[in-house]
């Protein structure tokens, strides 16, 4: 698996040479401006009237060379709408997007040979076999890797004679990934690459993504799985209602939410809970919630106080920050989560 990808780095022949040269030539640029830069991106569906809908409302971020940048968000947050502009499928209503220094919509011909795209949903004729699909897609590429190699990388080597319509959902997803990496892209866009995959396939896909990163590929990925983002992303952004509301490394984003300590006071307790540095205290009846960015210090102070006053803290619960907590706080921010789950992703 990794040896096939490793060959990509050292490179033989024209394709590899060009890649290395362009990489060397662009090193300075990439550290300054990023492989992808998005500035104040806005996207609107359905015209300018009141019937229209702003799917993306002013998004700014950049992706550095060789990193994996994850876009997270609830359905309808604007992830796919943002991806479609990066992929060059749509032009922004406002703002600028640059991929490898160029406009992916206007300079389509120049950008496309260096990018690979996996859409949220397939897009291969159901009556073609896996091998025929690979042959067709390879025929449209400038410098494809062998189809058999790409299929082997996603463990579909044994399914070449099967019609796409007969593949399972997970197999179709993997075929899609194989086609996305068939052209040895420098930049790879993956829109929910592991949706519908069983846990084992998901882990194998993660390993493939890590190998691609190790070979120098820059990847933008959207996902519903927080675990996936925590596992793979160098940096991520959480989108909500068309805006980026949190961004940073997974650890930074997780740390944006305070850690939580909760406990209950005895019924006859009359003394006040002491204030602690950097800690927000909220009391509802007998329930106390402490929110802090320094869990260890706050917890030590709390326990010291409880021991000193001979207080038993019932239902004591302390939990550190997590990506999931950060995500939940965003998702429950201004919309009830119930109906949101059933809503179609705007760009689905």
Which contiguous run of DSSP H or E holds residue 62?
strand 53-63
Q: Are 138 and 182 in contact (CB under 8 A)?
A: yes
Reported in sequence order, the residue ranges of 100-217 that DSSP labels E, i.e. its strands, are 115-118, 187-191
Does residue 93 bind another protein (CB under 8 A)? no
Classify residue 181 by its DSSP letter: T
6, 125, 274, 278: which one binds another protein (CB under 8 A): 125
Contact predicate 188/176, CB 8 Å: no
Residue (123 or 266) nearer to another protein, CB = 123
Taking CB under 8 A as the rule, does residue 316 contact another protein? no
Q: Report if residue 25 touches another protein, rule: CB under 8 A.
A: yes
> What single DSSP character describes residue 77?
S
- Least CB distance to another protein at residue 323 (A): 29
Question: Residue 152, class by beta-carbon neighbours within 10 Å (0-12 exposed, 13-18 middle, 19+ buried)?
Answer: middle
How many residues sit in the footprint of another protein (CB under 8 A)? 48
Among 6, 22, 52, 309, binds another protein (CB under 8 A): 22
Residue 213 is encoded by which pair of tokens?
A: 């990163």
The token duo for 323 is: 């990506």
Among 47, 49, 51, 139, binds another protein (CB under 8 A): 139
What is the CB neighbour count within 10 angstroms for residue 162? 15
Considering only residues 149 through 208, tell me which ones interact with another protein, judged by CB under 8 A: 183
| Stretch of residues binding another protein (CB under 8 A), selected from 18-26, 218-226, 265-273, 300-308 | 18-26
- Whose structure tokens read 């207080």? 311
Q: Is 32 in the site for another protein (CB under 8 A)?
A: no
Nearer Cβ to another protein (140/287): 140
Of 276-315, binders to another protein (CB under 8 A) are none
Decide: helix, strand or coil at residue 91: coil
11 is an interface residue for another protein by CB under 8 A: no
For residue 78, the minimal CB distance to another protein (Å) is 14
Tell the smallest beta-carbon distance from residue 344 to another protein (Å): 8
Q: Which is nearer to another protein, 143 or 152 (CB)?
A: 143
For another protein, the closer CB: 98 or 235? 98
Kind and range of the H or E run holding 340: helix 337-342
* Closer CB to another protein, 115 or 292, in the complex: 115
Considering only CA atoms, which of 200, 196, 192, 241 is closest in space to residue 221? 192
Helix (H) or strand (E) holding 44: strand 36-45
In angstroms, the CA 136 to CA 260 distance is: 54
Is 132 a binder of another protein (CB under 8 A)? yes
Centre a 10 Å sphere on the Cβ of residue 156 and count the other Cβ atoms it contains.
22
Interface pick for another protein out of 54, 87, 171, 192 (rule CB under 8 A): 87
Cβ 334 to another protein, closest distance in Å?
A: 24
Distance CA 71, CA 208 (A): 19
Q: Are 169 and 196 in contact (CB under 8 A)?
A: yes
Per CB under 8 A, which region of 10-18, 91-99, 242-250, 317-325 contacts another protein?
10-18
Q: How far apart are CA 96 and CA 93, in angstroms?
A: 9
Under the binding rule (CB under 8 A), the answer on residue 216 touching another protein is no
When asked if residue 34 is in the footprint of another protein (CB under 8 A), the reply is no
Return the residues of window 94-123 that contact another protein according to CB under 8 A.
100-102, 108-110, 112-114, 117, 119, 121-123
Query: By the criterion CB under 8 A, which residues form the site for another protein?
Result: 14-15, 17-19, 21-22, 25-26, 29, 45, 87-89, 100-102, 108-110, 112-114, 117, 119, 121-128, 132-133, 135-143, 183, 346-348
């Amino acid at each position: 698996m990794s040896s096939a990808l490793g060959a990509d780095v050292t490179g033989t022949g024209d394709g590899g040479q060009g890649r290395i040269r362009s990489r060397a030539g662009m090193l300075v640029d990439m550290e300054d401006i990023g492989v992808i830069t998005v500035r104040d991106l806005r996207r609107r569906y359905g015209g300018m009237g009141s019937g229209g809908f702003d799917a993306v409302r002013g998004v700014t971020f950049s992706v550095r060379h060789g990193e994996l940048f994850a876009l997270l968000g609830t359905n309808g947050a604007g992830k796919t709408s943002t991806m479609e502009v990066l992929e060059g499928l749509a032009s922004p209503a406002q703002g600028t997007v640059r991929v490898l220094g160029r406009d992916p919509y206007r300079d389509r011909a120049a950008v496309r040979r260096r990018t690979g795209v996996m859409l949220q949903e397939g897009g291969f004729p159901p009556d073609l076999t896996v091998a025929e699909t690979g042959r067709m897609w390879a025929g449209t590429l400038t410098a494809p890797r062998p189809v058999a190699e790409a299929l082997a990388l996603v463990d579909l080597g044994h399914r070449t004679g099967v019609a796409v319509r007969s593949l399972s959902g997970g197999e179709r997803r993997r075929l899609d990934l194989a086609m996305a990496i068939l052209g040895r892209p420098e930049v790879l866009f993956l829109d929910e690459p592991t949706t519908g995959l069983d846990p084992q396939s998901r882990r194998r896909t993660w390993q493939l993504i890590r190998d691609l990163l190790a070979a120098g590929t820059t990847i933008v990925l959207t996902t519903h799985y927080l675990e996936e983002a925590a596992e793979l992303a160098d940096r991520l952004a959480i989108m909500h209602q068309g805006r980026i509301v949190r961004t940073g490394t997974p650890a930074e984003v997780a740390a944006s939410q305070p850690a939580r300590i909760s406990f209950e006071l005895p019924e006859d307790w009359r003394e006040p809970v002491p204030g602690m540095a950097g800690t927000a205290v909220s009391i509802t009846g007998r329930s106390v919630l402490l929110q802090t960015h320094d869990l260890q210090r706050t917890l030590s102070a709390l326990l010291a106080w409880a021991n000193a006053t001979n207080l038993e803290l019932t239902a004591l619960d302390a939990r550190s920050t997590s990506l999931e907590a950060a995500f939940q706080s965003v998702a429950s921010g201004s919309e009830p989560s119930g109906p949101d789950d059933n809503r179609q992703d705007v760009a689905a």
